[in-house]
Chain A
Amino acid sequence: MGAIKKFMYINRTAPYGSIYSLEGLEVALIGAAFDQDVSMAFVDDGVFQLKKGQDTSKSGMKNFSLAYSALGDYDITKLYVEKESLQARGLTVEDLMPLTYEDQDDDYQEKPSIRVVDSEQLADIIAEQDVLLNY
């Protein structure tokens, strides 16, 4: 086994206008099999990916937003959402899906996966990463 690297998937696009966000989610889920330190960031229109109550029935597209709830099962427990991007779109954390994970080091307590950070904090987190993938 090699050293564990820090992987971050940065999601910048709205969920259904292009294939980017679905691909980003799938790659994150696939990558989770390799026991790396994985996190995801949601900036710009990417914050819409986490919005509650998505309804794709009239667009004929699959509503893949439900799959974000499985990220905890895949041990992807750090979802950073940029505060400025939320604010610019009139959203707060209350408008996002209440995603959680079970903390194995703390008696499997359910904890929130979404962490709202400002752009400066996010820049620091990005600077710590070994690998960045943009979607």
Chain B
Amino acid sequence: MTAFVEFNGRTYDTDEEGYLANLSDWSPEIADYMAKLDDCDLGDAHWEVINFLRAYYQKYQIAPAVRVLTKAIGKKLGKDKGNSKYLYQLFPYGPAKQACKYAGLPKPTGCV
């Protein structure tokens, strides 16, 4: 099954859960748009996590599972951000799952 998201007069292929099929299709604008479809307004705190995930993917070629993301964020941005409560407030559908979607990454490895 193919799915897609329409944005600025173009269609972008996604998987059946709405994750962009091609990494190179991503832009900050499409991230904002995908978030709006979920009734989520991306603020600086969201972008901090999204940018962190994109850097993680760049380095390791995988989207981290939530447990790994939480630990890694804590190390990089401090304990007050590296905890489930903070991350779930930002991304109520699951920090790794939802943030990876807006970051244009595949669904996290280790996420079932």
Q: Is B109 an interface residue (CB 8 A)?
A: yes
The listed residue with most A CB atoms (<10 A of its CB), out of B59, B65, B109, is: B109
Query: Which bracket fits the contact residues of A?
Result: 10 to 19
Contact A74 B60 (CB under 8 A): no
Known A33-B67, A74-B68: A67·B112 in contact at CB below 8 Å: no
Q: Is A69 an interface residue (CB 8 A)?
A: yes
CA distance A67 to B62 in the complex (A): 6
CA distance A63 to B61 in the complex (A): 8
Q: Is A19 an interface residue (CB 8 A)?
A: no
Residue of B59, B68, B72 near A66 (CB, 8 A) is: B59
Residue of A26, A62, A63, A73 near B68 (CB, 8 A) is: A73
User: B110: which A residues are within 8 A, CB to CB?
Assistant: 29-30, 32-33, 74
CA distance A62 to B62 in the complex (A): 11
Q: Is A70 an interface residue (CB 8 A)?
A: yes
Contact B61 A29 (CB under 8 A): no
Closest residue of chain B to A31 (Cβ to Cβ) is B110
Residue of B61, B65, B67 near A67 (CB, 8 A) is: B61
User: B68: which A residues are within 8 A, CB to CB?
Assistant: 70, 73-74
Q: Is A64 an interface residue (CB 8 A)?
A: yes
Contact B61 A62 (CB under 8 A): yes
Contact B64 A33 (CB under 8 A): no
Q: Is B54 an interface residue (CB 8 A)?
A: no
List residues 96-112 of chain B with CB under 8 A from any CB of chain A. Answer: 109-110, 112
Residue of A29, A66, A67, A73 near B71 (CB, 8 A) is: A73
Closest residue of chain B to A63 (Cβ to Cβ) is B61
Known A29-B65, A33-B65, A33-B67: A70·B60 in contact at CB below 8 Å: yes
CA distance A70 to B110 in the complex (A): 12
CA distance A64 to B61 in the complex (A): 6
CA distance A69 to B59 in the complex (A): 9
Contact A73 B109 (CB under 8 A): no
CA distance A30 to B111 in the complex (A): 7
CA distance A67 to B59 in the complex (A): 8
Chain A residues close to B by CB (< 8 Å): 26, 29-30, 32-33, 62-64, 66-67, 69-70, 73-74
